[in-house]
Structure 1
Amino acid sequence: MIQFGTGGWRAIIADGFTRANVRFLTQALANRMAREGSTDRGVVIGYDRRFLSDTAAWWAAEVLVGNGVPTTVLDRPAPTPTTMWTVRETGAAYGMVVTASHNPALYNGIKIVLPGGRDADLATTDALSEHANALTEADVRAVAPDEARSHSLVTVQTSLNQYLDAILDKLDTETIRNAHMHLILDPMFGVSETSLQTILLTARCQVEAIHDRHDPLFGGHVPSPTEDTLTALRHAVLESGADLGIATDGDADRLGIIDETGTYITANQVLVLLYDYLLTRKGWSGPVVRNMSTTHMLDRVAAAHGQTCYEVPVGFKWISAKMAETNAIIGGESSGGLTVRGHIPGKDGVYAGSLLVEAVAASGKSLSELYADIVERYGELVMVEAAYGFTAERRSQLASLIFEDHNLPDFTVLGHKTEKVVWEDGCKIYFTDGGWATIRFSGTEPLLRVFCEMPTRSQAQTVADAIATYYELS
């Protein structure tokens, strides 16, 4: 069965991710376009470096052509934001990206992009999955593989230059050039090397890359730029004396940073740094949008500048929608995705990494010094997070206990009084001392996620541990 989560449809290869299911989903999209009268506007298809991604892109193209849909296929693995940007610039009706983003190597999937380059909303993905799951092979209209590749309805896009130029046009490349920065890039065996390296070299940075070869197994690791997965990048930065290290996940829509001291800079810290940079040094004005599991330091920065921080559920579609509604200048999430006003309405690790380099260059300071200034001005909050697997039976038990019965630990024994609890997307507990905790099922993996943010790591870890103990998580 095809089931969408917060980041698209993802499934284990040869189990849920199969040729048949790719064809069913694509046929459902083609049928939707026919009902809308948007067939002539076409579809853009991109893909990452995962096993079967390039093949699955053409499985989709065969069905689209069979339904008379003009189809643009990128000619190489490319960052997901490239497809989103192309959908927006060409006025395409939809985009499809064959990717499972940061999931383990045994997964693949498809992300649907809406007109304007937006993440598909829940109504769209629910309708597509319901329709696709009701189809049979007899309902699928497709051309033969060799016919699709040479068909007049198919355009093979052979350049990423327009996407790269769009980012370069937004950057202060002169400031970056004058800073003479030395950078280490870790695409985590994914798709960002060519694009991000091209941008940084154009700005005259010295760039070295690690983990840049094609490996569908991602070196045996999960292609997610977290503190635990960036040990090699940390060593490379320290050994070479680089100014910072930049990592992106498998499809380059998420970001991870190592500063010049070898310290991991969290996605929350990157968001705060960039929001502050846009407000104070670039002279921008406007609110910020974050999801429920992202740092409240953004609230402090916003308040200090007479702005508002808006909170939305998890899923970047909520962030982009709220940004459009409020004209926010930046929006992001603690998992590493962010976007900036004027760029695509989807997360882009390539642009985010480039903009952070500009921020460091413009400051004349090291990244660690730059964040120390942030703490001095706004104080400090520390987040801890944990993820717990479960069986199908255990998931049902947890869902009932937490999200139906609203059975929560007694946090007063830890010295934290609950101000309110919100059940809109999982559970978020707000404490009167300014801290908070969230408990929710992941929308991309079979995991229960726990986040907690407090003034100190010890406080945050104590609350997170109490949640794990109370629900017997392991």
Structure 2
Amino acid sequence: MSISSSAMYKFWLGNEYFDEQTREELQKIKDDPKEIEDRFYKYLDFGTGGLRGLIGAGTNRMNIYTVRRASQGLADFINSIGAADRGIVIAYDSRNMSPEFALETAKVFAGNGIKAYLFDELRPTPELSFAVRHLKAAAGVVITASHNPKEYNGYKVYGEDGGQLPLEESNKVLEFMNKIEDITCVKLMDKDEAIEKGLIKIIGKEVDDAYISKLKTLCVNPDIARSVGENFKIVYTPLHGSGNKPVRRILDEIGFKNVLVVKEQELPDKNFSTVAYPNPEEKEAFTLAIELAKAENVDLIIGTDPDCDRVGVVARNRDGEYVTLTGNQTGCLLLEYILSQKKAKGELPQNGFVVKTIVTTELAKQIAKEYGVELIEVLTGFKFIGEQIKLLDENGDKKYLFGFEESYGYLAGTFVRDKDAVVASMLIAEMAAYYKSKNMSLYDALMELLNKYGYTIEGIKSYTLKGKEGVDKIKDAMEKLRKDEITKFGTVQVAAVRDYQKGERYEISTGKRESTNLPKSDVLYYELQDGKSWFCIRPSGTEPKIKIYYGVTDNGIDEAKAKLEHVQTNVLGVVENLLF
């Protein structure tokens, strides 16, 4: 255990600024130097995604004290640019400590003379993004750890444009945070005093109504929902999160009157008691929803994560089986639906563009090409999609049409600048109703899509390691991959490597090197020799996790599955040797 970790532990343990519960928690680990080291060897990382970590006592944990510290840094930044009079918007989800962290955040801003617009109850992350723009605030904060397990929480920061804070600005916030020498000196104002002085304002219905009103303008075929929606059954689960009210409201208001909610998962539950993991990417999260769908003879299931920025879809196939669609499949279905319908109506702009991340399916490129629409690739993270909206649509001469990432995040429209499961749920329901009017299910539509463009499938494997040792192992693995310039993984031969940390693409056969033209990031992307397949290795920026993404294309579904398995097996054989 380092001296600094030990000293910080003793400071927290012995200072009465920290509440009794915190000090009792720390007392229990007094004989566990490894645990003390992990909790105190650093402050929880603050990046463009803000904070995210385990809830608990310590500088490397999410608690009211690390939340106050982050809020003080953000407040100092806002004051430094003279934007205090515009205020900040604060939202939160259903997680453990979310309401408490949101209130502490508001109290810090009030203590620094900055008006805090605090939502009256849990709200989706995309509504926070909308509210920042709607209220013309200087920034926004949402307390959420998205779809992480119940032990986690987070602190996401948004800029004045409603997008996640850009790197330059997040670095400035971090500079202000690092200037805080004594965490006990953060400025706070009592809630009642702040409300009396107008420095905390509780918001709710007015923002809800404005948000829903804007969402309805994004319907592609408004008449479809009105004509089919009365009898079209949908099963919906909010997975105990913030999507319950807004998703049901938007579906009802555009015409879907037969939405069946999974009662066991309808209400907020900070422990997510009915699921092991509140993640709509996992089929297990839909167990109760599928049971309800079977009982009610329903073709479509929609599920949103706790902060309602990601959405998962389950569709029934011709054999009556319920099949979970991947984020890539749902994204491509939406992309094809939006572009084809706009083209049919003569509403597809010549200057239109769509955006995807580098680890999102290559099938999107073929769809965009089919409709003569520019496709732009960005680094992983929806903030980069939001940046393209600002750069090319808001400040440029192009028209944003749609953006998505493989991790179940989608966005239509420009009044929200982050992935939005509320608008995505609306469009998914409308799309399913459209295909229903043609006697097709979403699964049928997916098969038609693959027949049209080719059998492209993807996979992902992630490894979560523990604590500081896990972070170091992942770092060492990435360094070795770069140092050894590995170009053959088992029998899988690489044609080109994109090293986004170096900012270059290296073609192995010719030795040619060229710029990736993207910001630097700790990502290695490998193009395979068939010219259609790839895999990508990317450490998480918020936790000791490393992800390996894959994508392959072949002439048939069975051939594609076999190719994917071959690539995965060979790549993992190398990666696992580096990690374990």
**If the length of structure 2 is used for normalisation, what is the TM-score?**
0.78
Equivalence for 2:488: 410
Which residue identity lines up with residue 458 of structure 2 in the other structure? M
Which residue identity lines up with residue 119 of structure 2 in the other structure? L
Which residue identity lines up with residue 376 of structure 1 in the other structure? N
SS of equivalent residue, structure 2 residue 547: strand
What is the correspondence of 1:54-93 to structure 2 with a 5 Å cutoff?
Answer: 54-93=99-138
Which whole-Å CA distance do the structure 2 matches of 1:73 and 1:413 have between them?
A: 56
What is the correspondence of 1:130-145 to structure 2 with a 5 Å cutoff?
Answer: 130-135=175-180, 136-137=182-183, 139-145=185-191
Equivalence for 2:34: none
Identity across aligned pairs (percent)?
Answer: 27
* 1:315 CA displacement: 1.3
Deviation by residue 1:36-56 (Cα, 9 ceiling, x = unmatched): 011101000000001111111
* 1:448 CA displacement: 0.8
Equivalence for 1:423: 500
Higher relative contact order (CA 8 A, sep 6+): 1
What is the correspondence of 1:16-415 to structure 2 with a 5 Å cutoff?
Answer: 16-135=61-180, 136-137=182-183, 139-159=185-205, 160-171=208-219, 172-179=221-228, 180-202=231-253, 203-210=255-262, 211-219=265-273, 220-232=275-287, 233-261=289-317, 262-283=322-343, 284-285=348-349, 286-326=352-392, 327-363=399-435, 364=437, 365-390=440-465, 391-402=470-481, 404-408=482-486, 410-411=488-489, 413-414=491-492
* 1:146 CA displacement: 3.1
Which whole-Å CA distance do the structure 2 matches of 1:444 and 1:255 have between them?
A: 21
SS of equivalent residue, structure 2 residue 417: coil
Name the CA shift for 1:36/1:465 in 2 (closer, same or farther; >3 Å): same
Contact map agreement 2:77 2:176 (CA 8 A) in 1? no
Name the CA shift for 1:393/1:412 in 2 (closer, same or farther; >3 Å): closer
Which whole-Å CA distance do the structure 2 matches of 1:33 and 1:6 have between them?
A: 16
Deviation by residue 1:321-372 (Cα, 9 ceiling, x = unmatched): 1233343311111011121233412110110111111122223232112222
SS of equivalent residue, structure 1 residue 95: strand
Which whole-Å CA distance do the structure 2 matches of 1:234 and 1:166 have between them?
A: 31
Which residue identity lines up with residue 462 of structure 1 in the other structure? H
Equivalence for 1:2: 44
Deviation by residue 1:389-434 (Cα, 9 ceiling, x = unmatched): 22244223213212x41543514824x5524433343111112421
Q: Single out whichever of 233-242 and 440-449 deviates more from structure 2.
A: 233-242
Which whole-Å CA distance do the structure 2 matches of 1:64 and 1:376 have between them?
A: 55
Deviation by residue 1:131-175 (Cα, 9 ceiling, x = unmatched): 214312354221123323444222111312221222123224431
SS of equivalent residue, structure 2 residue 153: strand
SS of equivalent residue, structure 1 residue 200: helix
SS of equivalent residue, structure 2 residue 251: helix
Which residue identity lines up with residue 486 of structure 2 in the other structure? L
Equivalence for 1:464: 568
Which whole-Å CA distance do the structure 2 matches of 1:312 and 1:187 have between them?
A: 29
SS of equivalent residue, structure 1 residue 332: strand
| Higher Cα radius of gyration | 2
Contact map agreement 1:384 1:453 (CA 8 A) in 2? yes
Which residue identity lines up with residue 223 of structure 1 in the other structure? P
Equivalence for 2:55: 13
Which residue identity lines up with residue 304 of structure 1 in the other structure? E
Contact map agreement 2:471 2:544 (CA 8 A) in 1? no
Q: Single out whichever of 220-229 and 293-302 deviates more from structure 2.
A: 220-229
Name the CA shift for 1:281/1:406 in 2 (closer, same or farther; >3 Å): farther
Contact map agreement 1:238 1:260 (CA 8 A) in 2? no
Which whole-Å CA distance do the structure 2 matches of 1:380 and 1:178 have between them?
A: 33
Q: Structure 2: which 5+ residue stretches go unaligned?
A: 1-42, 393-398, 502-520, 554-559
**If the length of structure 1 is used for normalisation, what is the TM-score?**
0.94
Contact map agreement 1:452 1:461 (CA 8 A) in 2? no
Name the CA shift for 1:84/1:139 in 2 (closer, same or farther; >3 Å): same
RMSD of aligned residue pairs (Cα, Å): 1.9
Which whole-Å CA distance do the structure 2 matches of 1:53 and 1:149 have between them?
A: 20
Name the CA shift for 1:406/1:41 in 2 (closer, same or farther; >3 Å): farther
